[in-house]
Structure 1
Amino acid sequence: MKRRIEIMDTTLRDGEQTSSVSFSASEKLTLAKLLLGELKVDRIEVASARVSEGEFLAVKKITEWAESEGLIDRVEVLTFVDNGVSLKWMKEAGAKVQNLLTKGSLNHLTHQLKKTPEQHFKAIAKNITDAKKVGIETNVYLEDWSNGMRNSPEYVFQYLDFMCQQPVKRIMLPDTLGVLTHTESYSFVSQIVKRYPNIHFDFHGHNDYDLSVANVMEALKGGCHGLHLTVNGMGERAGNAPLASVVAVINDFLPEIEISVNESTLFKVSKLVSTFTGFGIPANKPIVGDNVFTQTAGIHADGDSKKNLYFNDLLPERFGRKRKYALGKTSGKANILKNLQELGLTLNDEELKKVTERIIELGDKKEKVTKEDLPYIISDVLDSDSYQQKVLVKSYVLTHSKGLKPSTTVSVEIDGESFEENAQGDGQFDAFMNALRQVYKTKKIQLPNLIDYAVRIPPGSHSDALCETIITWERDGKDFTTRGLDSDQTVSAIKATEKMLNII
C-alpha cells in the first residue's frame, strides 16, 4: 500500500510574501480554481487574516466559489492568537479552516511574545475552543519549529504534549528560516512522528540554503503526512520548497508515496503565476525553466537519435512540454537535423555543412538562433552559392552624428583590385550606396536603381539573432531581388548589396 501524502499549496499566502508581489482578488480566485481544479493539490492557503480590505475581498470570492464546488474545507487562512479578531475576520470572509500561528521555539516565545509556555498554551486553547464554537476547524503552525528542535527541544515536546489534548486536525512544522540540513529534517520529523503517532504532521520548508527539496525528501522519509509548497518556489527571502520539483522527485524517487497532483498542469500554472507576479522563471529552473528540456551540445542531440542516450526520466511530455535542440556555437549537425525534421526540411551533406558553419559563426557573436530563424539561414547560405564571388566588400565605416550628415567610407575589392571611397547620404545605407557609386564610376559601370527595400525578422522567432533585408533592383528594364541576413539591419542591407554587385 502506498502512503498518501497531502499537498498544500501556499503560493497565495506565503508565496505572496515574495518581495513586491501582490495578487489581485481576481488573480487569487483564478489561481485558486486552477490549483484545486486542474492541478489537484489537496489544500490551498490563500491569505493572512486582517491584512487588508483587498485580502478580505479575495478570500470572500474564493470561499464563495469553493462553497459552491464543495471545496470549502480545502481553503485555509493564516490566523493569529489575537483574542478572536482573526476568527471574526475569517467568519465574515466565509472561511472554515484556520492555520493558527503559534510559537515553536522558546527563543521566539520569550523574546517576541514575552510569555511563559503556560500563558501561551492557555491563549491557544481558548482560540481553538472559540474557533470550534463558530464552526472553524484548526490547524496549528509551530513558528520557528526547526530552531526549537535545535535549541529548545524540551519546549517543543512540552508544547506537543499539550497539543495532543486539543481538537486540532493538523500540526504544521515550519523550517521558518530555512536553516535545516537534510539529516536534521529526517531526525527531527522522525522523532516527532514516532512520539505522536496519532497526529497528522505537515512539513513546511524554506530554501535559504537551496536545500528545501532535499529537506522535503527527508521529512517524507521521516514520516510526515503533508507538505507545504509554492509555485516557482515563491516566498520570503529565498522562497519556499518549489512545487514542480517536489512533485517530480516524489513521482520518480519515492515510489512508496502517492500524491494527487496532476503534473501535466505544472508548467501552465507556473507560467500563469509568473505572468501575474512579473517574476520571470529562471531559464535553468528544473521542470518549468525554458532551457531544462533543451539540448545544446551536438553530441547530445546525436545521442538522442541513437536509443535516447541523453534522456532521463524527466521527459518533457510529462509536464505538457516538448524537447528542443538549441542552435548556437556548440551545435553540431545533429542539432540542426532535429530542427529541420520539425520544419519538414531536408538538406544534402554539403548544404548541411554550410548551414552548420553559419550557425556556429552566429553563436560566436553571442547571437541566439531559434528554429524559426533556420529557413532564413538556409535561404541565405544557398543563395550565396548561386553566383561566383568576384566582388567583396572588404570593410566599411558607418557614422551617424547629431547635426551632421551620415557618412560612409568603404573598401571594395573587384576582381582582385581594391578601391576605397567616402561619401555622405541621407542615412547610413544611402551614404554607403553613394560611396559605391563613386567606386563604380571609376570603372564606368552604372549601378542598378534601388526600387524597393524591406526588412523583416523570421516569423515566430523569439531571438534577436537575425533580420533579413530584401532589396529589389531595376537594371535595363528588368527587376531582380537580393537578400542579406545579419543581426544588424544595415549590415544585412550591405550583404544584400554585395550579392547584387556580384550578380551584375
Structure 2
Amino acid sequence: MKKRTIEIMDTTLRDGEQTSGVSFSASEKLTLAKLLLDELKVDRIEVASARVSEGEFQSVAQITSWAEEKGYLDRVEVLTFVDGGSSIEWMIKAGARVQNLLTKGSMNHLTHQLKKTPEQHFSEIAAVVAQAEKNGISTNVYLEDWSNGMRNSPDYVYSFIDYLTTLPIKRLLLPDTLGILTPSETYSFLYEIRKKYPQLHIDFHGHNDYDLSVANVMEALRAGCDGLHLTVNGMGERAGNAPLASVVAVVNDFIPDVRINVKESSLFKVSKLVSTFTGFGIPANKPIVGDNVFTQTAGIHADGDNKKNLYFNDLLPERFGRKRKYALGKTSGKANIQKNLQELGLTLNDEELKRVTQRIIELGDKKEKVTKEDLPYIISDVLDSNTYQQRVFVRSYVLTHSKGLKPSTTVSVEIDGDSHEENAQGDGQFDAFMNALRKVYSSRKMELPTLTDYAVRIPPGSNSDSLCETIITWEHDGREFKTRGLDSDQTVSAIKATEKMLNIF
C-alpha cells in the first residue's frame, strides 16, 4: 500500500503557551525548538504570536538564527494578524519567514468581533499576503472558528476559500477553535473541502474540549487532510489541543496509508522536559507519557505476561523509550513480586515469597504505595522476623503529642501470654513509649538494653514516602546488636524495631 506523508506541525511554543499560567523563557523556547526539530523530527513548529512582547521577539530571533544555520528556517512559523502589515514588519526584524495569518472563519466572528463585511476582510487579507510575498515571507492562513463557520455559515466559508485560492498562499489551516466538532462532523466538513479544493494543502487543528481531539484527528486524516497541528502533553487553552504522543501512536498503529516523520522513542523525553519547564505535571494515567500507562498492577496480569505476554498490546513501552513496570500492592500477587525480584537480581524460596507477598498486601490495605526500591527493605524486615521465636507482642499503644505538653504513651504488651499496660511521658513519642516499656519490665524485675544509636532511612531511589526503615543499635552486658523496623510511619517503624529487640533480648 502506498503511504502518503502527513506533516506534523507542533504548536506547543505558541498555542500550548496559551495554557493558563504557562510562559516559556527565551532559552526554554530555543531548547524546545531544537528538540522538536532535531530530536523529535516534527516537520514544522509554530513558535510565537507576532507583536506580543519584547521577550517573545527575542525568543523568535534566537530560534530563527539557529534555524537559519541548520537550514530549518522554512519550518519555523509565527502567528500573525491582519493589522496593516505590523506583523510582517515584526517578522522581518525577528528573522522569520513563514506566517500563519489569523483570519475569521465564521460569519459570527467576522460580524461581531471585526464588525466588517466579507469583502472588507478579504481585501485586507490580500494586502497582507502581498506585503509578505514582497518581503520573501510565505503565508499559511488560519480560518479561526472554522468549525462553527461550517455549521452555521458554510456559504461564507466556501466563498472565503474560493477567494484564498486566488492568493499566493501555501497552506489552509482549519481549526476547531472551540473544540466543538464530533468525529462525524470533522470527517464530513473536511471531506467536502478536500473534494472541492483538491489542489490545496489542508491542515487540521483540533482542540480537546469534549475529549474528542484524537478521534477528530483520525477522521481528519480519513477525509484526506495533509497536516496536523499538535502540542506536547496536549497543552493549550481551556482543555488543550490534540496531544502529540497519542496522535503519533494512533497514526502509526491504526492508519495504514499514512506515514509521519516523528520519532516515537523521543516522545517521552520531550514530554518530561515540557512538564519541567511549565510546572504542569503529566497525569499518571495520560496515554503514552503518563507514569502509570505501562504499569501492571493486578497479579493476574503479571502472571499472564509470564505466560506468553497475554496482557501486552501493540503499545510496547520500548517504542517510547520506556520500560514496563509491575506495581506492588494488595492486588499484585506473587507474579508481580517475582517480576520485580528479577529486575533486582534477587531470589526467594516459596515460603519467603509467601511471607513477602503477605507483607506487601498488608501495606496495600493501608493504601500505601510500594515501589521496587522498597522491596529489599521489605525482604530484610520479613526474613529478619523469622530468625527468632516471638514471645513478646506489642499489642496496642496510644501516642499523643500536644503543643505545650509532654508527649505521652499508653502501651499494652503481652509477654509469655501475660498482658501488661503502662503509661509514661517522655521528650518525644518514642521516648515516652520506651519509658512506658521500662515500667512494664521493671514490674517483672528486668532491665532493658540501652539504646546507643537510632537511624532512619528511606529506600534510595524510591519515589514514594510509603516506607521508612528504622535501625536501632542496642547494648547489653557489653554486647551490641541491631534491630530493624519497617513502616510508613517513622515512630511505628521504631516500635517494630523495639518489638524485635524484646524478643531477641
Bin the TM-score by the shorter chain. over 0.9
* Shift in Å, 1:430: 1.0
Q: How many corresponding residue pairs?
A: 504
Q: Secondary structure at the match of 1:327?
A: coil
Higher mean C-alpha displacement, 163-172 vs 422-431:
422-431
* Shift in Å, 1:392: 0.4
CA distance in 2, matches of 1:234, 1:352: 44
Instruction: For structure 2, list consecutive stretches of 5 or more residues without a partner in the other structure.
Output: none
* Shift in Å, 1:126: 0.6
**Residue identity opposite 1:285 in structure 2:** K
CA distance in 2, matches of 1:500, 1:460: 28
* Shift in Å, 1:60: 0.4
Structure 2 matches for 1:292-311, cutoff 5 A? Answer: 292-311=293-312
Structure 2 matches for 1:242-257, cutoff 5 A? Answer: 242-257=243-258
CA distance in 1, matches of 2:435, 2:198: 88
The equivalent residue for 1:261 is: 262
Q: Secondary structure at the match of 2:151?
A: helix
Matched, 1:116 2:133: no
Matched, 1:473 2:492: no
CA distance in 2, matches of 1:239, 1:458: 37
The equivalent residue for 1:45 is: 46
Matched, 1:271 2:284: no
CA distance in 1, matches of 2:82, 2:333: 63
CA distance in 2, matches of 1:131, 1:227: 24
CA distance in 1, matches of 2:15, 2:486: 49
The equivalent residue for 2:32 is: 31
Q: Secondary structure at the match of 2:396?
A: strand
CA distance in 2, matches of 1:277, 1:377: 37
The equivalent residue for 2:67 is: 66
* Shift in Å, 1:427: 1.1
The equivalent residue for 1:313 is: 314
Structure 2 matches for 1:416-435, cutoff 5 A? Answer: 416-435=417-436
The equivalent residue for 1:363 is: 364
CA distance in 1, matches of 2:198, 2:179: 26
CA distance in 2, matches of 1:195, 1:219: 15
Matched, 1:98 2:99: yes
The equivalent residue for 1:153 is: 154
Q: Secondary structure at the match of 2:405?
A: coil
CA distance in 2, matches of 1:124, 1:242: 31
CA distance in 1, matches of 2:343, 2:240: 38
The equivalent residue for 2:440 is: 439
The equivalent residue for 2:236 is: 235
Higher mean C-alpha displacement, 204-213 vs 105-114:
105-114
CA-based RMSD of the aligned residues comes to 0.5
* Shift in Å, 1:223: 0.3
* Shift in Å, 1:253: 0.3
CA distance in 2, matches of 1:425, 1:233: 54
Structure 2 matches for 1:327-338, cutoff 5 A? Answer: 327-338=328-339
Q: Secondary structure at the match of 1:329?
A: coil
**Residue identity opposite 1:134 in structure 2:** N
**Residue identity opposite 1:171 in structure 2:** L
* Shift in Å, 1:464: 1.1
**Residue identity opposite 1:447 in structure 2:** L
**Residue identity opposite 2:79 in structure 1:** L
Identity %: 82
**Residue identity opposite 1:190 in structure 2:** Y
* Shift in Å, 1:135: 0.9
* Shift in Å, 1:404: 1.5
Structure 1 segments (4+ residues) deviating >3 Å? none
Deviations 1:274-297 (A, max 9, x none): 000000000000000000000000
The equivalent residue for 2:463 is: 462
CA distance in 2, matches of 1:182, 1:402: 61
The equivalent residue for 2:200 is: 199
**Residue identity opposite 1:103 in structure 2:** K
Deviations 1:218-266 (A, max 9, x none): 0000000000000000000000000000000000001110110001000
Matched, 1:406 2:407: yes
TM-score by length of 2: 0.99
**Residue identity opposite 2:154 in structure 1:** P
Higher mean C-alpha displacement, 97-106 vs 400-409:
400-409
